[in-house]
Structure 1
Amino acid sequence: MRRVVATGTFDILHPGHLFYLEESRKLGDELWVVVARERNVVHKPRPIIPEEQRLKMIAGLRCVDHAMLGDREDMFRPIAEIDPEVVTLGFNQKFSEERLVSQMRERGIRADVVRIGPFCGCAFNSSTKIIEEALKRRGAK
């Protein structure tokens, strides 16, 4: 059984997320998704959607076999427990593949890291674009 782990915030679910997860699923037999905890999202604005709701949405996708919230203290703990062959990154996730591989090796995690390319099939392929358009359409300044 070839396990793949995908991670992310998945704030406002959109076609870009679905593309990332479907492409990740193609790399193995089983897709595990680790949804970021609100308190651990420090590299961008805090999620709008609560973590339990984001988890439920991800778990409901056909391409996802298992979904879980990330660890509050150690982002590598769920990955070590799942013991995947592949960890995927979205095209805009702010990780260096080389550094991530090095950090995982230090923890005894032997997974390959694969970056999934961008989804360009529609205008609303990011949470930021959706939020900006919603504010524009609703007249917010």
Structure 2
Amino acid sequence: MVRALAQGTFDLLHPGHVHYLEEAADMGDELYVIVARRSNVTHKRPPLLDGRQRRDVVAALEVVDRALLGHEEDIFVPIERIEPDVIVLGHDQHHDDEGIERALAERGITCEVRRASPREPDYDDELLSTGRIIERVCERRC
């Protein structure tokens, strides 16, 4: 049984997230998803929604076998517990693939690191970015 692992913030779930998780699920027999805690989101603005709420929305997707919140201090703790065969990164996630592979090797975790493909918009006005969704809401509602 091949265990795939995806991770992300998943604030305001959108079709780009769904594409990423569906592709990650196709890379294994089981899909685990780690939802980042607000305190660990340092590369962009913090998520609007609480971590438990984001986790529950991700867990509701049919392709997800288990969703859990990340560890507050060490992002590799859940990876050690899950023991994935493949870690699937989103096409635009800020992570350094080689850096992750080195950190995994240092911890004795043997798994492959892959990138998901981008999802192109199906139509001109489709938004595939949480930031762009927030901008649109502010333009139209603020």
The number of residue pairs the alignment matches comes to 139
Q: Which residue of 2 aligns with 1:67?
A: 67
Q: Which residue of 1 aligns with 2:25?
A: 25
The runs of 4+ residues in structure 1 deviating greater than 4 Å are none
Which AA in structure 1 matches 2:17? H
2:142 aligned with 1:126: no
1:120, CA displacement in angstroms?
1.1
Q: Which residue of 1 aligns with 2:3?
A: 3
**Separation of aligned partners in 2, 1:133 and 1:26:** 32
Q: Cα RMSD between the aligned structures?
A: 0.8
Cα deviation code 1:61-100 (max 9, x no counterpart): 0000011000011000100111010001001111111111
Structure 1: unaligned runs, 5 residues or longer? none
Q: TM-score, normalised by structure 1?
A: 0.96
**Separation of aligned partners in 2, 1:38 and 1:100:** 20
Which AA in structure 1 matches 2:132? K
**Separation of aligned partners in 1, 2:103 and 2:13:** 29
Which AA in structure 1 matches 2:49? I
**Separation of aligned partners in 1, 2:28 and 2:44:** 30
1:134, CA displacement in angstroms?
0.9
Q: TM-score, normalised by structure 2?
A: 0.95
**Separation of aligned partners in 2, 1:80 and 1:13:** 26
**Separation of aligned partners in 2, 1:53 and 1:20:** 19
1:121, CA displacement in angstroms?
2.8
Q: Which residue of 2 aligns with 1:42?
A: 42
